[in-house]
Structure 1
Amino acid sequence: MTPTHRAQDLDGEACGAEPEHEAELHSGFLADAAHWLRGLLGPEDRVSAAVRRILDVGSGPGVAACVLAEAFPRAEVVAVDRSAELLARAETRAAERGLSGRITTRRAERPEEFSRLGPADLVWTGNVCRHLGDQQAALRSLASALRPGGILAVAERGLPPRFLPRDIGIGRPGLQARLDAHLEERFAAGRAGLPGATSVVEDWPCLLASAGLVPTGTRTFLIDFPAPLDLAPRRHLHTRLRRVLDELGERLDLVDRLTVEQLLDGDACTGILWRPDAFYLSAVTVHTARLCRVRS
């Protein structure tokens, strides 16, 4: 359920160790999102006692699980993923933060297994449904893990990362917009080939309502690291560009391929590791809905 172990890395998401690096960049947004969810779940003086169990579905290396455990100090948090390797990293991360007693891990391979993960007062899932053929069925399964009054929070899409000006002084202006367009085409083709692929209008509040829940709000969170960047985000961008070049291959014309190669040059002042105009700007949208009745 994490990009590393899906059948295809549909939209150029991080691979290998990169989910952890990218999630670290997004940890500030996760803390803000957790604070917002606390407000949705009830009055501040009651929410800590009321939230007893949280599921982080598609947890990867456990960055969100640790943030949720810190935001809900009385809750057990279960990190759920299909990758044993990433779950082991989640356990290590929890131990490093003194959370071993409150964060457990569980493997789940298929969407129909989500319903057997409950009961939970909060289910968080980030960028999971887009990689499953039937997104509506996945939401129904996630919703079935909720206790009455519980909330399902789905982080999907938002805006792809931007990290270069329109004109970077090499190649043709507008490189990043063209890369994004190629990645979107690749994502659409990959989704069409998923097992059980079903086309739906990605109106997430409507999809959540069709899963038997009552929408409780949508918020978009900004991730903003202005230029000049520190080394850690530069390294992440270097890895991202390398992956994009490898995956898009012949889709890029000669000028754009040569431009990306220049950006990957670790010794050149025009490379992403050194250029002073590199930044990191992205946005993540979180859709929420509540189970307001006892299931029959």
Structure 2
Amino acid sequence: MAELLDLDAEVLHSYLSELTAWIKELTADRPPRRILDVGSGTGTGTFALLDRFDRADATALDLSPRFLHHIGGKARALGVADRVRTVQADLDAAWPSVGTADLVWASASLHHLADPDRVLAEIFTAIDPGGFLIVAELDSFPRFLPDDLGIGRPGLEARCHALQAERHAALVPHLGSDWGPRLTKAGFTIEAERTFPIALTPPLPAATGRYAQATLSRLRSALADRLTADDLSTLDTLTTDDGPHGLLNRTDLTVRTTRTIWAARRPAGE
């Protein structure tokens, strides 16, 4: 999962750059100095925001010690270790003592929570009046493949995504939610909502094949008991074959996904 998150950041670099530039415009009246990354993963948001706001410090908050160790190592490699603090916490249990922030970033993390409304109320309290919460969410994994792969039955990726949507409905029911009403309920004012449609075509970033490989390998593992033997065999060829059908060598890949962003502000008078 750590590799997949880092590849996501590398391949979708242009999206992250556009998004953080937009956030800089939104916060022009009070550039953030203290950033809190809620559900930081491997630090994609942490480092993108520190790069955009060069006078800010960041706290990366996550459940996984492995992810937080990864962030610490990356911070040292990038020369920003003095600007990054890591905190391990289970947000489904209790909100940690992390102080306040003037910008909170929550990317693809809120849908994992058992009670996101409670956590949003905690985030509201943790944001200084006038500060921003940026929520970035996705509906599903990205898509990479043409309908007809030249191997197996056409429509493999569509079948995988349909099965994964059924699985997510049971395991992560908040995925795909409209977070606007939840943010308003927590006390925030919605300043903007924006959809970023991502459709990358050749020439693609160099890591795209590995990104597709990591993503489809994860899908294969999650759906192993629900896919047909033929589809499993096709996925094995895609993810492990070093010939022309393998993802690392295909020339017909694209990257298609959508990210929806809510920019919510704690009212200045609160």
Q: What TM-score do you get using the length of structure 1 for normalisation?
A: 0.83
Q: How many matched pairs? A: 270
The structure 1 residue matched to 2:99, chosen from 98, 118, 124, is: 118
Mapped contact 1:61–1:90 kept (Cα < 8 A)? yes
User: Which residue of structure 1 aligns with residue 157 of structure 2?
Assistant: 176
User: Which residue of structure 2 aligns with residue 33 of structure 1?
Assistant: 19
Q: Distance in 2 between matches of 1:246 and 1:178?
A: 15
Question: Is 1:105–2:80 an aligned residue pair?
Answer: no
Question: Is 1:191–2:172 an aligned residue pair?
Answer: yes
Question: Is 1:96–2:77 an aligned residue pair?
Answer: yes
Deviation at 1:31, TM superposition (A): 2.1
Q: Distance in 2 between matches of 1:215 and 1:156?
A: 15
User: Which residue of structure 1 aligns with residue 224 of structure 2?
Assistant: 249
Q: Distance in 1 between matches of 2:205 and 2:15?
A: 18
Mapped contact 2:11–2:205 kept (Cα < 8 A)? no
The runs of 5 or more residues in structure 1 that have no matched partner are 1-14, 193-198
User: Which residue of structure 2 aligns with residue 287 of structure 1?
Assistant: 262
Mapped contact 1:54–1:76 kept (Cα < 8 A)? yes
Over 3 Å counting, the alpha-carbon distance change for 1:32 and 1:185 in structure 2 is same
Q: Deviations over 1:66-116 (max 9, x none)?
A: 111121122211111122221121122122222122122112212464474
Over 3 Å counting, the alpha-carbon distance change for 1:111 and 1:142 in structure 2 is farther
Deviation at 1:253, TM superposition (A): 1.9
User: Which residue of structure 1 aligns with residue 184 of structure 2?
Assistant: 209
Q: Distance in 2 between matches of 1:212 and 1:111?
A: 20
Q: Distance in 1 between matches of 2:152 and 2:168?
A: 25
User: Which residue of structure 2 aligns with residue 147 of structure 1?
Assistant: 128
User: Which residue of structure 2 aligns with residue 62 of structure 1?
Assistant: 43
Mapped contact 2:5–2:44 kept (Cα < 8 A)? no
Deviation at 1:205, TM superposition (A): 1.2
Q: Between the two proteins, what is the percent identity of the paired residues?
A: 35
2:150 alignment partner AA:
G
Deviation at 1:42, TM superposition (A): 3.0
Q: What TM-score do you get using the length of structure 2 for normalisation?
A: 0.90
1:271 alignment partner AA:
G
The structure 2 residue matched to 1:262, chosen from 214, 233, 237, is: 237
SS at match of 1:28: helix
Q: Distance in 2 between matches of 1:217 and 1:66?
A: 23
Mapped contact 1:126–1:156 kept (Cα < 8 A)? yes
Over 3 Å counting, the alpha-carbon distance change for 1:38 and 1:228 in structure 2 is closer
User: Which residue of structure 1 aligns with residue 3 of structure 2?
Assistant: 17
Q: Distance in 1 between matches of 2:54 and 2:210?
A: 33
SS at match of 1:59: coil
Deviation at 1:248, TM superposition (A): 0.6
Over 3 Å counting, the alpha-carbon distance change for 1:87 and 1:290 in structure 2 is same
Q: Distance in 1 between matches of 2:207 and 2:51?
A: 24
Over 3 Å counting, the alpha-carbon distance change for 1:121 and 1:163 in structure 2 is same
Over 3 Å counting, the alpha-carbon distance change for 1:63 and 1:140 in structure 2 is same
Q: Distance in 2 between matches of 1:174 and 1:104?
A: 45
Structure 1, 107-116 or 141-150: larger mean CA deviation? 107-116
SS at match of 1:250: coil
The runs of 5 or more residues in structure 2 that have no matched partner are none
